[in-house]
Structure 1
């Protein structure tokens, strides 16, 4: 559906206004219903142009509405229409109290004609911006992500309640949208709800247009299938919709029953020492050999033991240069020492995308020392004697650097400030693009 004109609707009593992109084929009633929701009006509303009421059964084109027109929205009594309101001055766009009492936003609206016009039937935004929904309490389940919270809580009051009572949801919001999180942080409940409404309304019109286009597309494909049940394109469209619905249902079931599936898997590391130097060994039963980087080997003082006859090129997921091999070096785990053979890899060149692996305990040494990975107890076991084992725990996130998937040394405040600055620049660029498009 092509947008043919821009009209500004102003609430005669409050002076609040909204500039809306509409088709001239839109009926006056459709525009009235949408304006009622957007401006937070209730009861019977009548649109006026130049002091004259517009016929709700006519299209905007039939009613003489043109691009750039200013329309007034006035509440009227059910018995008879009131006299035309005095012209209202538009004070610019004001989102602060929009839809505060828009109980009529969720009311059903007649479907748009096939020729064009806005169709607001079941419009999601009408539910999002309504103060009260059928659910008295917000929807929440353990493991719920922020996206799921937004999907299942269309009432701004509900989502603000969750953000203020579920710390992990606010942390996720702070990670993805630090600017919005800073606006909401430490705000009183009602103020936070108001801020959330304003953020929703920034993209309200675009959401409405997108929703309407989707409905028109679906209606078109249904008509094509009625005429030709073998229409390949229409069948593929509905098959795709069905698959997406199944994926969404599975996702929702997974989040209810297996929420840990979306968690980040921390790799297995143990604390060890070599020549008195502390090292964190990455336990990798999928690696054929035990390897160490040149940098780590130099730190541990074992480069003098390097046998360069074993130079070569390692080929696997990536490639790397093998400098040689250290045949026997003592790896200390706890109070015990285990002889290890280590392949020394050259460090990746500066600027390379290759990932540096300081120390990897591979399958060769795991088998030599009859190790077993006990995930139930989160330990690596070294067999010392029949029935006797050394158990060393796997490290936690707090013990590992960011390069190893951990959080040691992570500066959350600095990271949030960087994200906030990037988002601020992005919003400025988007606002500039919107301003340029309106000037055109």
Structure 2
């Protein structure tokens, strides 16, 4: 029979075994496949731990197509487990220098072995790697790991930087429980029928995600700079003697300028609206028109260029390929500057602190900024609808006290009061039904109708 074996680390493999195979031999076979010692293997089947090593797989109820979960046993010594000490990896901590301890000169070249009396007198210091306080301190002491946490797990990083240990522990426990529940759900789905098409897709997706994680870990180890944020190339210039931060984009076909920047530079009077249209690229934007000739001052040099004016453009100005080729510009990334061939002048690209805010926002911050703007817009619309709902028939706000002066005819109110209804109730119902007397009378009778014998 064929069984599928999965581990908590994400390894998945299939074994062709006999139902008469004993559990101890099955663990040895798994050791050959995944490298985990058979003495440290714990085998689970349908949420139940298989314990008797001499019992066969068939005796445990394992059938063809079932899935088994392989777990590694804790490597802590029995004495430490009895004292409640957490499991520790088999690591050599002798060469690790504790911050604040004595320098290398105070450390002996050969580690001293404490005597049996000292071992009995000094108790072992328990260090629980799963303790939220310990994990939080580890991240705070390692800026590199903290930066990786911000990239890979933003909610946990926010909880960590908030300074609230309880919030950090809550987010950490929630993420752990969600991960365990997801893994158990996947195992149950694959155990139901491993040869089903959906189960096969789930196994394939598990293997793919494992390969993706391995690829990302390799990239983080060998090329961590690929996870950094690259700034756009901006330079300082002047248009019509007004300072502008221009974005140098050799991938753009033409030089463009936003309508707000054109108004600020007082060149909207030169816009030829016959050149209106639509700019297509990453999205579409409306082109208001074109300024056929304008001067851009870059350093001491004055350059001539044309501008396409866009209606809704986040950046002020973009120097496109038409202007860069006309003046034989060279983008020197080694020296971080723009070299203008026709004038022989050079200008440095702006640093992170000098570029516009729209160029500093990464994708996550941009999405959060857009979400906040959307929430503010929805709140404003809700407040506007609420104010409109509380307006009376004439458009003014309805008074909170219905006994105040009403806009309805006094004759209508007196007629309904003569029927035995209270004046405040009459005005309230007329307001609800926009002055319709018949509907208000029906509503008043329905509210004041009582079943005989009912209190």
TM-score, normalised relative to structure 1: 0.50
State the structure with bigger RCO (CA 8 A, min sep 6), 1 or 2.
1
TM-score, normalised relative to structure 2: 0.48
Query: For the pair shown, which has the larger CA radius of gyration, 1 or 2?
Result: 2
